[in-house]
Structure 1
Amino acid sequence: MTRPLIGVTTSRRSGWRIFPLIALNVWMAGGRSVRWVDGADADLSTVDGVIIGGGDDISPDLYGGHLVRSARLDSGRDALERRVVHDAFDLNKPMLGICRGSQMLNVALGGTLHQDAYGVYRDSRYLRTILPRKTVHIAPQTRLAHLAGTEPMKINALHSQAVDGLGRGLRVAARDEGGMIQAIERLRDPFAIGVQWHPEHLFYARRQQGLFRALVSAARARQQNQAQLERVDRDEG
């Protein structure tokens, strides 16, 4: 069986470091990857699924927010990824959003962000590390709970922004100990989950591998014109 092809959006500046790690995780899950950056021909018809990767902050122009001085923006990538999210849903292609990618999934569906998330959630532990030192609590009866269980999960954290108002068709799947949203998911096909952390750095952890396996499983279902969420539930049950 042909490995599903996953399009991965990255920063033009730093993506050369991150893409190989994401590609490794996708390969371990049974897929293969192609890198997309601003200016590239990100043709959704050529892939079976999408990963929106991490990186710079998202411009508040996309959701009616106000710019904070600490923000580091990439308007070209914003435009690329917003189009990719919309095209993926139009073509019924599954998606995994990582950190910035989770935020873009939310914004593209009409949601908003906290630009200074730790200024809002004072009880959330502020960390900037690729090591799993932050704790999140997974909401029961969510797809993330089906994939990773409901035990508290140790994750890494590199973000300053976080989801505020939810986009259309999304629900909260996890929060940290201070109440900040750490994962969101779509309620119907196509499969879509966004996580605020960086599972690609935690490739040795079974619960993190489940995110990439679920994406590849959904992409394979898309190849075969099958229901994606049903396939993920069956394959990862």
Structure 2
Amino acid sequence: MGRRVTIAVTGGRRGSRLAWYFSRFLLGGHGAGSRFLHPGTDYRDVPFDALLITGGSDIDPETYGAQAHPTIEHTDPARDAMELYLIETAIRRGVPVMGICRGMQLLNLHFGGTLHPHIHDFDLDVAHPHTPLPLKTVTLEHGTNLHDIIGQSALRVNALHHQAVNRPGESIRVAAHDGNNIVQAIEHTALPFVLGIQWHPEFMPYSWHSRKIFAAFVHAARSIKNS
């Protein structure tokens, strides 16, 4: 099985504990240790074998040079700065990175992509739910790493977001989309494991595909550590 890996799991000072507990449970189920980092922790020199960026507050438009939007009310610039620093650190070290919801959006920004500030500004062909329950259908793109991990082309997932990826960043490809053609997953085409998921697999630990995603993430971390 190889040496035990430690995953850094990020969040805010407040409002991230639930995502942390669920993520720790899923990571631990695949033999990985985990450590919770937030802006109040000494995160700059923390050793880790992979980085998991959880969901939460909206990314501050000033973080990526965008204009303010009336729907963006709850931001955490200190968390934005921490997570961008940790993404850069993880990429430099060559360890796996997975971003969930806002974590996916931040990954896209790191690689030079852009965001839609509010998807309800568009005419949606399919109703966009806001629920922790798996009531949304997403389609996985053939030929992507995510499709290889899951092994099928359509999933029922949850949805807790109102922002979304607009233009993918450099070397970033779309790995899944929904019925409105809104990006639901991204991945890096050159780095070994950089994956963004718009839904919340950590809140569906009962789902086989959530467990597959976390298993692949831990496996990638273990493979790099033991190489």
TM-score range, shorter chain: over 0.9
In the superposition, relative to structure 1, how do residues 132 and 44 fare at CA in structure 2: closer, same or farther (>3 Å)?
farther
State the alpha-carbon separation in 1 of the partners of residues 139 and 115 from structure 2: 20
Equivalent residue, structure 2, for 1:81: 83
Q: CA RMSD in A?
A: 1.4
Tell me, yes or no, if the aligned pair for 1:51 and 1:97 is still in contact at 8 Å. yes
State the alpha-carbon separation in 2 of the partners of residues 118 and 190 from structure 1: 34
Q: Which runs of 5+ in 2 are unaligned?
A: none
State the alpha-carbon separation in 2 of the partners of residues 9 and 190 from structure 1: 21
Alignment partner of 1:20 is 2:21: yes
In the superposition, relative to structure 1, how do residues 44 and 188 fare at CA in structure 2: closer, same or farther (>3 Å)?
farther
Equivalent residue, structure 1, for 2:63: 62
Identify which of 189, 192, 199 aligns with 2:201.
Answer: 199
Tell me, yes or no, if the aligned pair for 2:140 and 2:177 is still in contact at 8 Å. yes
Give me the identity figure in percent: 36
State the alpha-carbon separation in 2 of the partners of residues 42 and 214 from structure 1: 25
Secondary structure of 1:46's counterpart equals: coil
Tell me, yes or no, if the aligned pair for 1:44 and 1:87 is still in contact at 8 Å. no
State the alpha-carbon separation in 1 of the partners of residues 77 and 45 from structure 2: 20
Secondary structure of 2:36's counterpart equals: strand
Secondary structure of 2:223's counterpart equals: helix
Identify which of 162, 169, 175 aligns with 2:164.
Answer: 162
State the alpha-carbon separation in 1 of the partners of residues 51 and 195 from structure 2: 11
Cα shift at 1:29: 2.1
State the alpha-carbon separation in 1 of the partners of residues 208 and 218 from structure 2: 15
Equivalent residue, structure 2, for 1:41: 42
Tell me, yes or no, if the aligned pair for 1:9 and 1:51 is still in contact at 8 Å. yes
Q: Under a length normalisation based on structure 1, what TM-score does the superposition of the two structures give?
A: 0.91
Cα shift at 1:125: 2.4
Equivalent residue, structure 2, for 1:228: none
In the superposition, relative to structure 1, how do residues 88 and 139 fare at CA in structure 2: closer, same or farther (>3 Å)?
same
In the superposition, relative to structure 1, how do residues 209 and 103 fare at CA in structure 2: closer, same or farther (>3 Å)?
same
Tell me, yes or no, if the aligned pair for 1:115 and 1:160 is still in contact at 8 Å. yes
Q: Under a length normalisation based on structure 2, what TM-score does the superposition of the two structures give?
A: 0.95
Tell me, yes or no, if the aligned pair for 2:142 and 2:153 is still in contact at 8 Å. no
Secondary structure of 1:193's counterpart equals: strand
Tell me, yes or no, if the aligned pair for 1:162 and 1:180 is still in contact at 8 Å. yes
After the TM superposition, which of the residue ranges 73-82 and 10-19 deviates more from structure 2? Answer: 10-19
State the alpha-carbon separation in 2 of the partners of residues 93 and 111 from structure 1: 21
Tell me, yes or no, if the aligned pair for 1:30 and 1:213 is still in contact at 8 Å. no
Deviations 1:183-218 (A, max 9, x none): 000112241110000000111111111111111111
State the alpha-carbon separation in 1 of the partners of residues 193 and 98 from structure 2: 8
State the alpha-carbon separation in 2 of the partners of residues 202 and 126 from structure 1: 18
Equivalent residue, structure 2, for 1:98: 100
State the alpha-carbon separation in 1 of the partners of residues 158 and 220 from structure 2: 25
Secondary structure of 1:89's counterpart equals: helix
After the TM superposition, which of the residue ranges 100-109 and 10-19 deviates more from structure 2? Answer: 10-19
State the alpha-carbon separation in 1 of the partners of residues 8 and 144 from structure 2: 25
- List, as ranges, runs of 4+ consecutive aligned residues in structure 1 with deviation greater than 6 Å: none
Q: Which amino acid aligns with 1:87?
A: T
Equivalent residue, structure 2, for 1:232: none
State the alpha-carbon separation in 2 of the partners of residues 178 and 100 from structure 1: 19
State the alpha-carbon separation in 1 of the partners of residues 29 and 100 from structure 2: 17
